[in-house]
Amino acid sequence: MLFKYLPIDRIDVLENLKIRFSPLMSLNDPFECQPLVDMKNESHQFVEKMLRDLDELWENTAIEEKTEENRKILEQTRAELIADVKKKTNSFVVGQGLMARLNDNLGVLSLSRTEDNLLMWSHYADEGKGLVIGFDDEHAFFKQPNLAGRSTRPIPVVYTNKRSKIVPGEDRYYEKLLCEKPRDWAYEKEERLFRVVLTKECCLGKDVYGMDVILTELPKNAIKAVYLGYSISEESKIRVLLAIKNNDIPCNIFQARVSLDEYRIEFSDQVST
C-alpha cells in the first residue's frame, strides 16, 4: 500500500471521492522546481557554430570594409553573443524555465510508503487530528497510460545531499528532474504519481501559492484502509465514518493512538462504521 496523510479539512477526499494532483510550484521543499539542467554540450556546439558563422561573415566582407573599427565591432559582437548564450544556458536558468513550462500541465500526488511516521502525522495530518488513507498501489488508478500510451506508476523519491546536474536524454532523466529531494526529507519515504492536466475547466480556485486547484476523480476501490488520527475529534471521526458508509468504500478502518511504552504510533483493531 501507499499512504496519503491529510489534514482534517480534507475529509472531503472521502466525501467527494476526489483528490488533487498538485502543480509542481505548490510543493513545499525550497529546492522543488529548481533542478540544475546541464546544457553544456548544446551550448558549446551552438557557440562553435556561431563563431564559425561570424568568421565566415568576416571572410566574405569586402576589403574596404575590413577596418579596425569594424573588427572591434565584430569582436564585441562575438563576446556579447557568447555571454548571452552562457547566461541563457546556465543550468539553473534552464531548470527554472523547464519547470515553469511543466508546471502548467503536470500535477503530482505525493504519497508515502509508511502510515505510522510521527513527523508525517504531525506535519501533514494536523498533529494527529487528521487522517491517513491507504491506497492499493496495484489498482488501475496508479497505472493509467501517459500521453505516449505507456503505463504510469508511482516513482520513489531519491534522497541525496548532492544536487544532480541533469543532462537531457540521460537515463532516469525525469526521475532526477522531478523525484530528487534533500536527505532532510527522507523520513517521508515519498513516492510520486504524476498526471498530465490538459484542461482547467474544473478549477476550484487558487491555493496559497497562487496555483490552480483541480481535483481528479478517485475510484473508491483504490482505497484499502483509513487511519483515524490519534487526536481526531469525535465530530471529525463521525464525518469520516459517514463518508465511508455513504460512498460504500470497501476499506478497513483503524484508530491511531500514541503508544504508552514507545515513541511510536499504534493502531487499534478495525473500527466499525
E-only strand ranges, 38-139 = 106-112, 131-135
Cα(2)–Cα(134) distance, rounded to whole angstroms? 6
Instruction: Give the per-residue pLDDT at 72.
Output: 80
In 164-232 the beta strands, taken as DSSP E runs, fall at 165-166, 180-181, 190-196, 215-217, 223-228
* Amino acid letter, 142: F
Per-residue model confidence as pLDDT tens for the chain (273 residues): 999 999 999 999 999 999 988 877 777 666 666 777 776 666 566 666 666 766 677 677 777 777 887 778 777 877 777 677 676 667 777 667 767 777 677 888 999 999 999 999 999 999 999 999 999 999 999 988 766 667 778 999 989 888 777 777 676 777 777 888 889 999 999 999 988 875 666 677 887 777 778 788 999 999 999 999 999 999 999 999 999 999 999 999 999 999 999 999 999 876 766
| Rounded Cα–Cα distance for residues 28 and 108 (Å) | 12
111 touches 197 (CB < 8 A):
no
Other CB atoms within 10 Å distance of the CB of residue 133: 26
The pTM score is 0.77
Cell of 241: 465514518
Q: What are the φ/ψ torsions at residue 162 (nearest 5 degrees)?
A: -105, 125
Phi, psi of 195, deg, nearest 5? -135, 140
What does the block give as the cell for 179? 523525484
Cα four-point dihedral sign 26, 11, 156, 190? positive
C-alpha cell at 63: 576589403
Write down how long the chain is: 273
217 vs 32, 96, 162, CA distance in Å? Answer: 26, 30, 37
Q: What whole-number distance in Å separates Cα of residue 158 and Cα of residue 186?
A: 8
At 179 the three-state DSSP class reads coil
Q: What are the distances in angstroms from CA 83 to CA 44, 89, 95, 205, 270? A: 12, 10, 18, 41, 65
C-alpha cell at 196: 498530465
φ, ψ for residue 234 (rounded to 5)? -60, -40
